[in-house]
Structure 1
Amino acid sequence: MGKVYYVSKNVGLGMLVLAVAALATIIALSIAYDKERAKNRGKPGDEATDSTSMPPPPTTPFIPKEPWDHYRLPDSLVPLSYNVTLWPRLEPDARGMFVFTGHSAVVFRCVKETDLIIIHSNKLNLTTFYGHHAKLTGLGKATVPTIQKSWLVVKTEYLVLQLHSRLAVGSLYLLYTEFLGELADDLQGFYRSEYIEDGVKKVVATSQMQATYARKTFPCFDEPAMKAVFNVIIIHDRATVALSNGRDIDTVDSVIDGVPVSVTTFEPTERMSTYLLAFIVSDFVKIQSTQNNSLLVRIWARRKAIADRQGDYALSVTGPILQFYEHYYNATYPLSKSDQIALPDFNAGAMENWGLITYRETALLYDPMLSSTGNKERVTTVISHELAHMWFGNLVTLQWWNDLWLNEGFASYVEYLGADYAEPTWNIKDQIILSDVHKVFAVDALASSHPLSRREEEVNNPAEISEMFNTISYSKGAAVLRMLSEFLTEPVFAKGLSSYLNTFAFNNTVYTDLWDHLQKAVENTPGMHIPHTVHNIMNHWTLQMGFPVVTIDTRTGSITQKHFLLDPDSVVDRPSQFNYTWFVPIKWMKTGVEQQQYWLLQKTDINSQMRVSGEDWVLANTNVSGYFRVNYDLYNWDRLLSLLSTNHQALSIINRAQIIDDTFNLARYNQINAVGYACGMGVEGCRELIKSWYRQWMENPHHNPIHPNLKSTVYCSAIAFGGVEEWDFAWRMFKNATLASEASRLRAAMSCTKAPWLLNRYLEYTLDPTKIRKQDATSTIQYVARNIVGMPLAWNFVRARWGYIFQQYGKGSFSFSNLINGITKRFSSEFELQELKKFKEENLHVGFGSATLALEQAIEKTTANIKWVTENKAHVLKWFTEESK
């Protein structure tokens, strides 16, 4: 059972009014929905005249002419193994630059005759050998051709070697390169992270290879299907420790070029993809445990963080979660150790590098005295997500990035299962509805959405790959896989999953391989029946975008499905081979009694069992097991409303949430929201209480009287109520914070001020990495945009500095699209729409990278918002006016 919270009578009544108001809109929205359907009938010839449907201005397409013009590698060479040696310098050179040097030898097999070697290399200065960038030798009896010429291709990020003769099919060759790269602070490839500890600036050399950054570290065949074994050696300062994917097997002291160093050799990796590599040099320390008498589990972090026991919780849950996955997958953990490390500068939330998982500090570290329960929950779910990848994604890897959704969607689903095993009293599995299903509904209801699985040719260059790391891939992927598990049942799903992982271990797949093994599990399960094959059912959900709204008329038993769009008049340009019809598994109940699962396989059907009369009612999509919305006839809505008013516990919490969210909004029965609502609505005494708590802290910065669970709300409200004194205090506490989650709360809270000059100053801070870390820049701008005062300031700031922001943060960041989404979320006027379009036109020469689709969606959402406001603001104003009388 969760913690019980008590609220004042006024607050309780306020929350009740909100909930009832949301439920009351069910009737209005149901009627409006029916009217909209009726209005749209008979208008197939109507054409959109809005300028957003106009084609973009013509551009000159890039037409590849040579093999090195293509972003995809040729299929003539296959890597087998690498020997990689890296030496990062943690002190600047004479030019003030941080650099790393290294050399690499890759053994590859020729599988098709070719006189070209094309291998990825980006932003590396390569040593020349006899006028060429690499040395080529033959292994065994292979005759090695001489190199005619070699060059670097900036656009496609290749090193190209033109040979005098062809390589022989079946023969093995070795390509040796030496290189120098910048250990920059760009959060990509092999990069530099800096932090202050005990007044001393310290430097960490760390890495982020996903999706296309291994090529910034050493020349490699940098595609997920190009798996190989990696033998790694790291040269580093003797006062530091080196980490990589494999367990260290030897560390010796040496002197190289007059510099005393340590040389650490690691065990060979398993056969793996380049994007899962990790290399780290730091003076971090660890805590550790041993699982099953052999598996070494370690948590690494800054010395002070470990001394403050901030890594203890992560260590305590890692073992149980690993045990859960071993049982769930029916496959032992495939490596000899599991390292997890918290980094001061890290762009993603976490990264599943095989055997060495990297995290933002907020995602791994937890202080039992200072952190909130929300922080604890985040640590558990992120660890569970990344450990899920150790099998699904790492052991078995999707062949290309077009199927990224299966990798990330799967981990986003089973993270709830792993976390539930580690913390069974939290009921965390229910939160997938709020955190994933309802969140992605808002995006997938746009005409500019996209299918989960794209064609390979749609995802080529690094920006297109980065764009795949979006809400559709993660949250919709999780939602449809949860639906699949629900209609197959969890035991059948797990059986097929285990077969898939054990069959393809250390290899690559396409998403249909999983369907094959799930289908076999169905066929091998007595009594198991589904109306079509797993392939046919899931193709309807993965190969077309969007989702249906299922409308049930309980007077007639009529059931229909229709593509749900935020704006019903929007034009869907993307064709669908299934004509936007889904195979919909509907779990349902009648008057509290669970019924046999029903499948809606066409646009319209009749189910006599769903006809009801009297006080009986129907509730479909119980526990929100399916990825679709539900609408009913007015009479059934009335009966459900009556039920919720008299006996709300007759329905599960999830379905109560579903009913409200399917119609208007979701209201939740806790203390954090109660305080936020109370202050926002001007409840007497709330402002004074918040200000007094914050003032007590300001008077004694070493003692914070605010409960961890209330800090986010209290900080934000106090800064909003206050002025420069409160803001500057928060800034000092932010800069001095030793707990990452505390710094994150303060960073968000400082965006709550109502003073425009403070918000503008804060926005300027985001461009200074000594004030706001690069990993936090775009999210800080989004925080300012949430503030109604800050929204136009953030928008003007981004427009004025788009070129700089894009170059610094945008080109390859998975989360960069969130910046556009966050700033434009509340756009709802014609003026804002025209500004968006102008912004697009004025920056076509700069580009939008991974935010390209987000900008199109922002234009579509703004258009839909304008229409909604125009059609509904008078009705809403009238409703509020009447309710207040």
Structure 2
Amino acid sequence: MGKRFYISISVAVTCLVVATGVLAIIIALSVMYAHERSKNLQSLPTSAERSSTSTASTTPSSPKGPWEYYRLPQTLSPVHYNITLWPRLKPNADDLYIFTGNSRVAFRCVSQTDLILIHSNKLNLSMFDGFHAKLKGLAGAAAPTLKKTWLEVPTQYLVVHLNDPLQPGSVYELYTEFVGELLDDLGGFYRSEYFEDGIKKVVATTQMQPTDARKAFPCFDEPAMKAVFHMTLIHPQGTVALSNAMNYDPVNITVNGESLIQTSFEPTEIMSTYLLAFVVCDFAYIGTNPDADVLIRIWARRKATEEGQGKYALETTGHILGFYKNYYNSSYPLKKSDQIALSDFSAGAMENWGLITYRETALLYNPGVSSNGDKEWVAIVISHELAHMWFGNLVTMRWWNDLWLNEGFATYVSYLGADYAEPSWNMKDLIVLNEITDVMAMDASAHSHPLSTKEEEILKPEQINQLFDTITYSKGAAILRMLSDFITETVFSKGLHTYLEEFKYNTTSYKDLWKHLQMAVDKAGISLPHSVEVIMNRWILQMGFPVVTIDTQTGKITQKHFLLDPESVVDRPSEFNYEWFVPVTWIKTGGSEQHQSTTYWLLNKEDTNTELVLGDAEWLVANINMMGFYRVNYDEGNWERLIAKLSSSHQDIPVINRAQIIDDAFSLAKANIANTTLALRTTTFLNKEVEYMPWQTARKNLNYFFHMFGCSEVYGPMKAYIRKQVTPLFLYYKDLTLNWTKMPDKHTDQYNQINAISLACSTGVEGCRELASGWFKEWMNNPAVNNINANLKSTVYCNAIAAGGDEEWDFVWKMYKNATIASEADKLMHALSCTKEPWLLNRYLQYCLDPEKIRKQDVSFTFIYIAQNPIGQPLAWDFIRSNWDYIFNEYGRGSISFGSIIYGLTERFSSEFDYKQLKLFKEEVGARLDSAAAIIEHVLERTKANMNWVALNKKPLSDWLISQTSKIL
């Protein structure tokens, strides 16, 4: 059992008496709910309905009332909440899962007002003498009487209009009672379901970020409206209740003959509503010693816990918490860190303070079954969420326009924490592949967006939701990594310490962070061309990034806003005219000597630096280890020297820069800045390369060629060229693993082994398909024993399904439905999309609309997996369009990401027909695009760029490939 906190018998009795009264109200509310659900829970009252209280009045149409604005007025400030909730884990007579509850929120009046605006969404509020709430004064304050109350649907408010104004400095308490539905929509207070030993089990859990706390109880649901929360949960016998703070001793209670448990929790630290969490389940846990400074517990389904799937998370959490304590020079702020793996969860994880919620794949790891990649994902996600315990939770962004400050920071330092926990993995390098190169492709669009915008540009919940994208997370991480590099990691860490100390339990904006980093820079005596704020504002207040072009003959260096589509029009203005202050570094070699530069600042659109002239040096490569967020182009002579060096002695160039040369060249070719043949020539050395980063970068970029030409006559030469390049790698790993009987020791070698087999099988390297099919057949013949290497399962499963028919597909489907390890289920789910049979893909698409077959949290991934299959892409696109209304209505409440689906389904679009189909789709769905509205503009731009690129490059690409492969065709 975990550590408990005990209270006196008198306090326990008092709690029981109060609970009995509360329960009587809750029971009455639950009875009422069945009759009210058929109505719109938040239907907008007419003027007459709004006037049905003590004083007749109408709502003026102009000017707007405060309730018509999406931001709360700054007239009230919450102090603390007392919330009691009772989720039902069994359906009622109407087959509905509900929760009932009440809330008392104490708030201070900041400036005189006769209005209380508090968020409430999809809650059926009880009425008291014709009003939706009760109000009383605290600490001697007299509460005004209520004039009228109503629910304002568009802005999601409970509006309380008073007869007299509240007085500044006085504290009041608003009391509400409510009923809500415990839906499976993965937002607010929702339910998750799973089967264990053939028994269906229900979990009541939460996901409040960004604006769904208001679906669980009325609250001031903005990040700056921090308060203390006192939680009480009523739940069935045999279950446990968890929340942000440690629980008091549970109390057994009886209501109408039903034996229940009431669990109350210590008050939380002062925090934002979106970080509140509570769970009712019958999970088990493993944990640290209850007497430890910080109690760590890993919660999961009982069978998962018994199988030891939480052990790695427990071990890693301890290491990473220790790292952050030193990194921030600040102790962990809470007594405990509960982490819980949920069967249904929309995000990867959520940093609720003291109760972090995860997808099972992000927290659970089973050695021998889970892969190396699964293990890395667990470490990275845990590290990301624990980083938030200080940066985001202790100190919080003031408003969602600075979301990048939370998420970009946590993404960057998650690699530092994971590197500390697993020092042999080289995680500080892998951030380049995992975050930076991918986000550069997104940010090179004319429809990208700045990291930080003005508050007034982000108001509605759907606008807030759109910010949870790769720009916010990955670009935010990239520019903070760049900043940490040019001021040094030590100085960066010291600035964070003073920042956290000054603003703990408060909210900030990015300017506060710049101020503290500047203080650390000044103290360290580091010289910069401008202040941290002036430099960094160029990177966060305008979208995009530059391509830096270096002429090694003259030393001329220029910068220009890099766009993948050179014909696109940038209509978003920038006060900086799309110029950046760019920290440029480079390596120059001549003979056996290698010279590494200090940072040179490119402060204008062009400059000349004689140090960039090659002279007697052989070659120059800029942006050492890709620490800067920019692309690099060179004069033709230096490109030729780099390609020659890669062909003769590629190890002389650092491994990250070998990957960077490939990525920059391909990106420049897509933007028509460099020749496509130049980009392809940067891959000719790969038949001698065995490192993961260059191979993975090449694979990602060559995949674009397959998307563009996969159904054309260019496909054959492309396949032959990759087969030629990957064959030595395939044979290298065959020898390294003693004919595939052991696993490579090095973390990145385990990844590159996957590349070797995957590319070899897909391009027809002799012996590869037989190897994969043989492993798979052994498993089919004995389903109880799966001897396929965990790292190779995804590749083997996919190749076997692609080569097989319905027998193989049905076998994998059965294994998927019976899988008890989430990471294994994910691999099987992906493999099902690899079939070449259209009818099986269509059946799989139909399964996506049945939550009993494909969980709502997995629908986005499944659609995208199917679209990655050349045969499945048109099927998935037609299916989505045909079923858009149904999908939007059933899944459009946070269950899936419409933006990621549209982005994934249209990656192959490269024709005029595709472009017209996209425009037609945009017109048809209109407002029902939800969070995909911004993505579809990017996709239209990408499609137009693809059309132009294919027209220009098809012939030269084909000619070059044929010249490289003519001897082997």
TM-score normalised by structure 1 residue count: 0.92
Distance between the aligned counterparts of 2:468 and 2:377, measured in 1? 19
Distance between the aligned counterparts of 1:776 and 1:159, measured in 2? 34
Correspondence 1:767 to 2:849:
yes
Alignment match, 1:634: 636
The within-5 A match list for 1:639-658 is 639-658=641-660
Instruction: Give 1:293 shift.
Output: 2.9
CA contact (8 A) 1:363 1:378 kept: yes
Distance between the aligned counterparts of 1:801 and 1:455, measured in 2? 36
Instruction: Give 1:827 shift.
Output: 0.8
Instruction: Go from structure 1 to structure 2 and tell me whether the alpha carbon gap of 1:814 and 1:447 turns closer, same or farther (over 3 Å shift).
Output: farther
Alignment match, 1:557: 555
Alignment match, 2:308: 309
Alignment match, 2:400: 401
Alignment match, 2:117: 118
Distance between the aligned counterparts of 1:644 and 1:778, measured in 2? 40
| 1:668-703 superposed Cα distances (whole Å, 9 cap, x missing partner) | 462111111111111222222221211111111110
The within-5 A match list for 1:367-378 is 367-378=366-377
Instruction: Give 1:809 shift.
Output: 2.4
Specify the code of the residue in structure 1 equivalent to 2:695.
Answer: A
The structure 1 residue matched to 2:569, chosen from 568, 571, 574, is 571
CA contact (8 A) 2:275 2:351 kept: yes
| 1:98-119 superposed Cα distances (whole Å, 9 cap, x missing partner) | 0011110000001111111110
Q: What's the secondary structure of 1:118's corresponding residue?
A: strand
Alignment match, 2:155: 156
CA contact (8 A) 1:412 1:478 kept: yes
Distance between the aligned counterparts of 2:883 and 2:342, measured in 1? 28
Alignment match, 2:338: 339
Instruction: Go from structure 1 to structure 2 and tell me whether the alpha carbon gap of 1:394 and 1:640 turns closer, same or farther (over 3 Å shift).
Output: same
Alignment match, 1:43: none
Correspondence 1:264 to 2:263:
yes
Specify the code of the residue in structure 2 equivalent to 1:747.
Answer: M
CA contact (8 A) 2:857 2:896 kept: no
Distance between the aligned counterparts of 2:69 and 2:654, measured in 1? 53
Alignment match, 2:917: 835
Alignment match, 2:544: 546
Correspondence 1:806 to 2:895:
no
Instruction: Give 1:884 shift.
Output: 2.1
Specify the code of the residue in structure 1 equivalent to 2:221.
Answer: D
Alignment match, 2:962: 881
Instruction: Give 1:880 shift.
Output: 1.3
The structure 2 residue matched to 1:816, chosen from 867, 878, 898, is 898
Q: What's the secondary structure of 1:342's corresponding residue?
A: strand
Alignment match, 2:500: 501
Distance between the aligned counterparts of 1:619 and 1:699, measured in 2? 53
Specify the code of the residue in structure 2 equivalent to 1:575.
Answer: P
Alignment match, 1:856: 937
The structure 2 residue matched to 1:596, chosen from 576, 595, 598, is 598
Identify which range, 756-765 or 639-648, moves more after superposition.
Answer: 639-648
Instruction: Go from structure 1 to structure 2 and tell me whether the alpha carbon gap of 1:291 and 1:659 turns closer, same or farther (over 3 Å shift).
Output: farther
CA contact (8 A) 1:311 1:364 kept: yes
Alignment match, 1:606: 608
Instruction: Give 1:553 shift.
Output: 0.2
Alignment match, 1:755: 837
Specify the code of the residue in structure 2 equivalent to 1:849.
Answer: D
Instruction: Go from structure 1 to structure 2 and tell me whether the alpha carbon gap of 1:255 and 1:722 turns closer, same or farther (over 3 Å shift).
Output: same
Alignment match, 1:712: 794
Specify the code of the residue in structure 2 equivalent to 1:518.
Answer: L
Alignment match, 1:739: 821
Specify the code of the residue in structure 1 equivalent to 2:842.
Answer: N
Q: What's the secondary structure of 1:676's corresponding residue?
A: helix
Instruction: Go from structure 1 to structure 2 and tell me whether the alpha carbon gap of 1:594 and 1:240 turns closer, same or farther (over 3 Å shift).
Output: same
The within-5 A match list for 1:196-211 is 196-211=195-210
Instruction: Give 1:258 shift.
Output: 3.0
Instruction: Give 1:807 shift.
Output: 2.2
| 1:59-99 superposed Cα distances (whole Å, 9 cap, x missing partner) | xxx99811111111111110000001111010111111000
Unaligned runs of 5+ in 1: 1-61
Q: What's the secondary structure of 1:248's corresponding residue?
A: coil
The within-5 A match list for 1:291-440 is 293-440=292-439
Specify the code of the residue in structure 2 equivalent to 1:119.
Answer: I
Instruction: Go from structure 1 to structure 2 and tell me whether the alpha carbon gap of 1:813 and 1:520 turns closer, same or farther (over 3 Å shift).
Output: farther
Instruction: Give 1:154 shift.
Output: 1.2
Alignment match, 2:691: none
Specify the code of the residue in structure 1 equivalent to 2:143.
Answer: V
The structure 2 residue matched to 1:662, chosen from 661, 664, 689, is 664
Identical aligned residues as a percent: 61
Specify the code of the residue in structure 1 equivalent to 2:322.
Answer: Q
Distance between the aligned counterparts of 1:814 and 1:116, measured in 2? 36
Instruction: Go from structure 1 to structure 2 and tell me whether the alpha carbon gap of 1:486 and 1:340 turns closer, same or farther (over 3 Å shift).
Output: same
Alignment match, 2:237: 238
Q: What's the secondary structure of 1:684's corresponding residue?
A: coil
Instruction: Give 1:816 shift.
Output: 3.2
Distance between the aligned counterparts of 2:782 and 2:394, measured in 1? 52
Distance between the aligned counterparts of 1:487 and 1:766, measured in 2? 47
Instruction: Go from structure 1 to structure 2 and tell me whether the alpha carbon gap of 1:229 and 1:199 turns closer, same or farther (over 3 Å shift).
Output: same
Alignment match, 1:12: none
CA contact (8 A) 2:185 2:893 kept: no
Unaligned runs of 5+ in 2: 1-60, 667-678, 680-693, 697-728, 730-751
Instruction: Go from structure 1 to structure 2 and tell me whether the alpha carbon gap of 1:738 and 1:813 turns closer, same or farther (over 3 Å shift).
Output: closer
Distance between the aligned counterparts of 2:85 and 2:62, measured in 1? 37
Instruction: Go from structure 1 to structure 2 and tell me whether the alpha carbon gap of 1:431 and 1:352 turns closer, same or farther (over 3 Å shift).
Output: same
The structure 2 residue matched to 1:728, chosen from 810, 816, 820, is 810
Instruction: Give 1:141 shift.
Output: 2.2
Instruction: Give 1:801 shift.
Output: 1.1
Instruction: Go from structure 1 to structure 2 and tell me whether the alpha carbon gap of 1:832 and 1:852 turns closer, same or farther (over 3 Å shift).
Output: same
Distance between the aligned counterparts of 2:77 and 2:63, measured in 1? 23
Q: What's the secondary structure of 1:647's corresponding residue?
A: helix
Distance between the aligned counterparts of 2:562 and 2:899, measured in 1? 23
| 1:796-823 superposed Cα distances (whole Å, 9 cap, x missing partner) | 1111111121222234468431111111
Instruction: Give 1:458 shift.
Output: 1.1
Alignment match, 1:91: 90
Alignment match, 1:698: 780
Correspondence 1:448 to 2:408:
no
Instruction: Go from structure 1 to structure 2 and tell me whether the alpha carbon gap of 1:779 and 1:64 turns closer, same or farther (over 3 Å shift).
Output: farther
Q: What's the secondary structure of 2:960's corresponding residue?
A: helix
Distance between the aligned counterparts of 1:655 and 1:677, measured in 2? 23
CA contact (8 A) 2:584 2:602 kept: yes
Where has structure 1 moved over 6 Å in runs of 4 or more? none
Specify the code of the residue in structure 2 equivalent to 1:617.
Answer: W
Instruction: Give 1:881 shift.
Output: 1.9
The within-5 A match list for 1:771-786 is 771-786=853-868
CA contact (8 A) 2:193 2:201 kept: yes
Instruction: Go from structure 1 to structure 2 and tell me whether the alpha carbon gap of 1:611 and 1:678 turns closer, same or farther (over 3 Å shift).
Output: same
Q: What's the secondary structure of 2:560's corresponding residue?
A: strand
Alignment match, 2:11: none
Instruction: Give 1:327 shift.
Output: 0.4
Distance between the aligned counterparts of 1:83 and 1:863, measured in 2? 55
TM-score normalised by structure 2 residue count: 0.84
- For these two proteins, the number of residue pairs brought into alignment is 822
Q: What's the secondary structure of 1:264's corresponding residue?
A: strand
Q: What's the secondary structure of 1:860's corresponding residue?
A: helix
Distance between the aligned counterparts of 1:135 and 1:405, measured in 2? 39
